Amino acid sequence: MARIPKPLPDGVLHWPGFYPREAQEALLADIRAGVANAPLFTPTMPRTGKPLSVRMTNFGTLGWVTDKDGGYRYQPRHPVTGEFWPPIPDELLRLWRDLFLDEQPPQACLVNFYTDDAKMGLHQDSDETNRAAPVLSVSLGNACLFRIGGNLRNDPTQSFRLESGDVMALTGPARDAFHGVDRIYADTNDLLKDGGRLNVTLRRVT
Task: Choose among 34, 90, 91: nearest CA to 63.
Answer: 34
Distance CA 32, CA 26 (A): 10
Residue 127 binding Mn ion, by CB under 5 A: no
Cβ 88 vs Cβ 33: under 8 Å:
no
CB of residue 125 to Mn ion, shortest distance in Å: 4
Cβ 17 vs Cβ 41: under 8 Å:
no
Cβ 139 vs Cβ 163: under 8 Å:
yes
Residue 67 binding Mn ion, by CB under 5 A: no
Q: Which is nearer to Mn ion, 79 or 180 (CB)?
A: 180
Residue 61: name its binding partner from Mn ion, ligand SIN, none (Cβ under 5 to 8 Å by kind). none
Residue 171 binding ligand SIN, by CB under 6 A: no
- CA–centroid distance for 20 within its chain: 19
Distance CA 17, CA 5 (A): 17
The CA R_g of the chain, rounded to the nearest whole Å, is 16
Distance CA 48, CA 68 (A): 6
Give the single-character DSSP code of 174: G
Out of 201, 202, 203, 204, the only residue in the binding site for ligand SIN (CB under 6 A) is 201
Distance CA 88, CA 25 (A): 16
Residue 133: name its binding partner from ligand SIN, Mn ion, none (Cβ under 5 to 8 Å by kind). none
Residue 181: name its binding partner from ligand SIN, Mn ion, none (Cβ under 5 to 8 Å by kind). ligand SIN
Enumerate residues 11-70 that contact ligand SIN by CB under 6 A.
none
Residue 146 binding ligand SIN, by CB under 6 A: yes
Residue 108 binding ligand SIN, by CB under 6 A: no
Out of 24, 58, 107, 112, the only residue in the binding site for ligand SIN (CB under 6 A) is 112
CB of residue 1 to ligand SIN, shortest distance in Å: 30
Instruction: List residues binding Mn ion (CB under 5 A).
Output: 125
Instruction: List residues binding ligand SIN (CB under 6 A).
Output: 110, 112, 120, 137, 146, 162, 179, 181, 199, 201
